């Protein structure tokens, strides 16, 4: 993020957020960038979003930030047991148990009920299209979909620089997803150079 913008955009965060940010560093847990979470929160406010579905809670940072800063109920799904336990503890410490429902499981095997105004996809990068196809019927018309890490540290733009078979294959999958997302008939999408590359789609 631009250093000047990072400093001018900086807001004082509550103690629980400072604690989770430290925890993320200590546990080496990847979380959304400052730019990314600020964008999500603004989208929630502009779009008068009431219900958010998040795929990939990790230790609860983005879910807690959304619930603290918007009038939203968040349902978030996390596959990894230790991340799920940490997220539950953090949600409870933030006193957000009533606003955040966390589900432990593989999002591809979990069904959710009802309709959401915003879907935030931030889990296994190779599965993004599957997540989108699975949950698109749980979205209201006009709902917003945000996906993170679509530039994958710049490697999607310059795939030749990617080292190792696994990373190369992941980069190709993300590139394929980006093309599918942009041309998806059910969504109007643009991808932005925010954080690690974020898309904003609007359900038609």
Ligand X SMILES: C[S@@+](CC[C@H](N)C(=O)[O-])C[C@H]1O[C@@H](n2cnc3c(N)ncnc32)[C@H](O)[C@@H]1O
Residues lying near ligand X in the complex (CB under 6 A) are found at 30-32, 55-58, 61-62, 77-80, 83, 106-108, 122-124, 127
Give 40 or 181: the residue with its C-beta nearer to ligand X: 40
Least gap, CB of 201 to ligand X (angstroms): 17
Least gap, CB of 64 to ligand X (angstroms): 8
Give 83 or 144: the residue with its C-beta nearer to ligand X: 83
Give the separation between CA 56 and CA 185, rounded to whole angstroms.
25
Give 22 or 183: the residue with its C-beta nearer to ligand X: 22
Least gap, CB of 108 to ligand X (angstroms): 5
Give 32 or 162: the residue with its C-beta nearer to ligand X: 32
Residues facing residue 54 across a β-bridge: 76, 120
- Residue sitting closest to ligand X (CB): 56
Handedness of CA 119, 120, 123, 129 (dihedral sign): positive
Least gap, CB of 18 to ligand X (angstroms): 14
| Nearest-10 Cα torsion for 148, 104, 118, 63 | -70
Give 30 or 47: the residue with its C-beta nearer to ligand X: 30
Give the separation between CA 119 and CA 101, rounded to whole angstroms.
14
Least gap, CB of 87 to ligand X (angstroms): 8
């Amino acid at each position: 993020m631009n250093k000047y913008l990072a400093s001018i955009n900086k807001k004082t965060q509550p103690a629980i957020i400072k604690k989770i940010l430290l925890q993320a560093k200590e546990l080496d847990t990847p979380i959304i960038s400052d730019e990314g979470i600020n964008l999500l929160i603004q989208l929630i406010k502009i779009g008068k979003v009431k219900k958010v579905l998040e795929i990939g809670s990790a230790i609860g940072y983005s879910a807690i930030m959304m619930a603290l800063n918007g009038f939203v109920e968040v349902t978030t799904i996390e596959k990894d047991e230790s991340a799920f336990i940490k997220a539950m503890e953090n949600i409870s410490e933030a006193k957000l148990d009533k606003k955040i429902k966390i589900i432990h499981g593989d999002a591809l095997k979990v069904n959710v009920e009802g309709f959401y105004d915003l879907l935030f996809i931030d889990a296994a990068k190779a599965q993004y299209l599957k997540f989108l196809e699975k949950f698109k019927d749980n979205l209201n018309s006009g709902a917003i979909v945000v996906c993170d890490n679509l530039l994958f540290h710049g490697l999607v733009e310059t795939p030749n620089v990617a080292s190792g078979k696994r990373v190369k294959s992941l980069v190709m999958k993300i590139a394929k997803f980006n093309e599918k997302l942009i041309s998806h008939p059910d969504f109007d999408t643009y991808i932005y150079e925010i954080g690690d590359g974020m898309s904003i789609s609007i359900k038609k």
